[in-house]
Structures are given as C-alpha cells and as structure tokens.
Homo-oligomer: A and B are copies of this chain.
Amino acid sequence: MVSRTEEGSAGSLTQLTEQLRQFAEEREWQQFHTPKNLAMALSGEVGELLAELQWLTPEQAAQVMTDPEAGARVRAEIGDVMIYLVRLADVLGIDLVTAATDKMADSARRYPVESARGSAAKARRS
C-alpha cells in the first residue's frame, strides 16, 4: 500500500509540478504567474474552499465528503488550492515537502508531546 502510493500519487508531486509548469508555458501564462499574483490566486482559492464549509455545523463539515455534490465541490477547491501552491513554490524554487518537514520539526521542538497534549493554546501556533 505504502509502496504503491510512493510510486503512484506521491511520486507524482514532481510530475504535477512539471505538468503545471508546462500547462502555464504552453499558454504563455508565466507572465501572469508572478509570486504576488500566484499568492493572491492561492488566497482566492482558499476563500472558495472556506465558502463551501462556512455555514456547515462542525458535525456537517465532518461529513461533507459523504455528500456527492458538496464533496465534489470541496475536492475541486482543494485541487485548485494545491495547483496554486505548487505553482507558487515552483516559481520561488521551494520544495514543498521539505519546507513543510522543516516547519514540522520546528513545531516538534516548540511543542513537546508531554506539555502540548490536548492543549488548544499549544495547538494555536502549530
């Protein structure tokens, strides 16, 4: 299972980055894909994702993927967010997984398991 995923979807983060770069180049959209513009587009897509969840109760939101229509919309918005995050990281020359792993290691130092357990205050700045 893990090895399938590593060779499959996980292996394709590199492919996705390449495909999105090619997608932009074919359409001569690199001129629009500046760091500021892509950051704005990322924020815009996150806004659309929030709009899908904003009026749901916590219980409804936890079940949103079981609703075929709402679930498909949430999945599409998450796809859009990922697209702009991958494009932005590519334009800036940042490796997404390494940047996230480094940040997680930093959080592990700041929030040791024993003292952070079950604490929303500590969860705030994870």
Contact = CB atoms under 8 A, between A and B. Distances in A.
Contact of A9 (B2, B97, B126): B97
Given A23-B108, A78-B94, A122-B27, A50 B40 contact: yes
Contact of A79 (B62, B83, B102): B102
A56 B121 CA distance: 9
Contact of A92 (B2, B65, B107): B65
Interface in A3-45: 5-6, 9-16, 19-20, 23, 26-29, 31-32, 34-37, 39-45
Nearest to A60: B120
Interface of A: 2, 5-6, 9-16, 19-20, 23, 26-29, 31-32, 34-37, 39-51, 53-56, 58, 61-62, 64-65, 74-76, 78-83, 85-86, 88-89, 92-104, 106-108, 111, 113, 116-120, 122-124, 126
